[in-house]
Amino acid sequence: MRAVGLVTEYNPFHNGHIYHIEQARKITNADVVVAVMSGNFTQRGEPTILDKWQRTQAALQNGVDLVVELPIFMAVQPAHRFAAGALELLNDLQVSDVVFGAEHPLWDFANFVEAEKHFSQRGFEKFNATYATQFNQQLSSLTGHSLTDPNDILAFSYYKAKLKNKYSIHLHPINRLGSQYHDQTIKGTIASASAIREAVSKHETIDQVVPKQTADLLEKIKCVPGWEQLYPLLRNFLIQTPLEHLQQIYQMAEGLEHRYREAAERELTFSGFIRRVKTKRYTYSRLLRVCLYTVMEITNDQVSQASTHPYLHVLGFNEQGREYLHQIKKSVQYPLLTKISQSEHDGLVNLDYRAGKLYQMFTGVEQDVKHAPVILKKTN
């Protein structure tokens, strides 16, 4: 069986994702669609609007055959690490192709990777600009292009990971339809996930842009999960924890612990906190990720240890996905998990288990221990 891989968050699953799945099958003629999906927190470090089991169910009901979780130490990362982690798992899952959306699918992303080898390190010495800004200044001078759109940045990162690791996977960028990634308005039948989340928070209709399964789940949401709800935990930890311990938090670098402590002492709301912490040196995405690492007390050592022990946590499958799992299970390199035991949540999957416990604050629903995969059976 030939498999095509997708890298997803499905936050939430919408009509644009259905188009993505359909195009992936059409372009590759694959027998199986395998989605590697972020768990309960996004690449930016924000809680997802629906939990990973609900999003898995929606994916299986709309064309995906197998869903595998992208562990938090891979998922909540800047684009290059997020893409590298996803491609690493898809490579182990033995997919032959990966199809992904891009704002400029005709660009030669492999050439951009080659151009990066000629960057000057002196071009990254400014402390009043983000790394992305300095990166694009050099890329533009060499190629005439800048990577400013989120999916173009990920596309570049997929090519970089493939070339670095010599994966045989074929990469297929396709054009994104409808709204741009951060568009906050809903027009037509395809809208950005950001616009859908905004509409849900305002109790506006979204039926035209999501499948019925997603619409039914979102209709039940009384409050969209977000950092305002988690801020009391974050604020208390930042105020109470000694600075030398804060320095051990993953990515809490270059004196950020001082900025975070000061902002927590002064601000009673998360919106006020994140504005006070923000500088030209760091993007909001970077700062949000550090917030999540902090409230979960994720240290540099923990991420380093977890990164050396990847695994394949199966969230769900249909009959085609089950058949594919049976085909590859003896040849995958990483542990293949379908249920999380006590020993596993204390060890191998500890960071995801802790993320699930944090997310449980929003839903009251256990996210990992003894949770069986979602199984979609054929209906007559």
Q: Is 13 annotated as a binding residue?
A: yes
Return the closest-CA partner of residue 59 out of 45, 69, 44.
Answer: 69
Q: Is 200 annotated as a binding residue?
A: no
Q: Is 18 annotated as a binding residue?
A: yes
> What is the C-alpha to C-alpha distance for residues 325 and 332, in angstroms, rounded to an integer?
10
Q: Is 9 annotated as a binding residue?
A: yes
DSSP-derived pairing of the beta strands 97-102 and 312-318: unpaired
Q: Is 125 annotated as a binding residue?
A: no
Q: Is 182 annotated as a binding residue?
A: no
Q: Is 356 annotated as a binding residue?
A: no
Residue 79 makes CB contacts below 8 A (sequence gap 6+) with 43, 150, 153, 154, 156, 157
Q: Is 176 annotated as a binding residue?
A: yes
Return the closest-CA partner of residue 112 out of 77, 173, 157, 172.
Answer: 157
Q: Is 8 annotated as a binding residue?
A: yes
Q: Is 175 annotated as a binding residue?
A: no
Q: Is 309 annotated as a binding residue?
A: no
> What is the C-alpha to C-alpha distance for residues 321 and 306, in angstroms, rounded to an integer?
27
Q: Is 91 annotated as a binding residue?
A: no
> What is the C-alpha to C-alpha distance for residues 82 and 86, in angstroms, rounded to an integer?
6
Q: Is 362 annotated as a binding residue?
A: no
**CB neighbourhood size of 287 (10 A):** 21
Tokens 């800004």 correspond to what residue?
133
Q: Is 20 annotated as a binding residue?
A: yes
Q: Is 10 annotated as a binding residue?
A: yes
Q: Is 170 annotated as a binding residue?
A: no
Q: Is 151 annotated as a binding residue?
A: yes
Tokens encoding 204: 């506006």
Binding residues for ATP: 7-20, 101, 151, 176
User: Residues comprising the binding site?
Assistant: 7-20, 101, 151, 176
